[in-house]
Amino acid sequence: MMNFKNLFKLYFDESRVFGLDILRFFAIMFVVVGHGLIYMPRMVKGIVSYFIFDGVTIFFVLSGFLIGGILIKVLNKESFTFKTLLEFWKRRWFRTLPAYLLVLILLLGLNIIFNEKFVFNSEIIKYFLFLQNFKTPHPSFFPEAWSLSIEEWFYLISPIMIFSLINF
């Protein structure tokens, strides 16, 4: 016989910060609803837009908090060597780059196949190096990538600054 008492029981991982998960949920919800406003009637859009915050900004704050926490843990455990720095980048980039590159290549392929006016040029190559909004406004090819560009540069520059301050 099935035990229904455990069906609705919640299990929490002791190492997770539940408040951060709630913030992550709201950030995701704000981004999804914000993008979905285009499909809502004008009156509903006017009302809902008052309750939508900038989810991407929440993600930036969460990312800075979590990455800062990871860097502080690394600094407290061991000396911050170049090997530690490379390990940090490897962990970060294996979490973000595969999905980003998959979507980028998929968009390129779909544009090459279905968009006769599409031109593969230096603007598109900038997406592979996260330079698409480095010194110019973000191009329209992959508009969601603007925040990823900023995040990846943050992942690159902030540990270098900390490494430099500690070791030199």
Q: Characterize 6-41 residue by residue with b for buried, 16 or more Cβ atoms within 10 angstroms of its Cβ, and e for exposed.
A: eeeeeeeeeeeeeeeeebeeebeebbeebeeeeeee
d(CA 165, CA 168): 6
Tens-binned pLDDT, residue by residue, of the chain (168 aa) = 566 677 677 677 777 888 888 999 999 999 999 888 889 899 888 888 888 888 888 988 898 888 888 888 877 876 778 888 898 899 889 988 999 999 999 999 999 999 999 999 988 999 999 999 888 888 888 888 888 898 899 889 988 888 888 777
Q: Which pTM was predicted?
A: 0.73
Instruction: Please state, in angstroms and as integers, the Cα–Cα distance from residue 58 to each residue in 42, 63, 79, following that order.
Output: 26, 8, 31
Judged by DSSP in three states, 105 sits in: helix
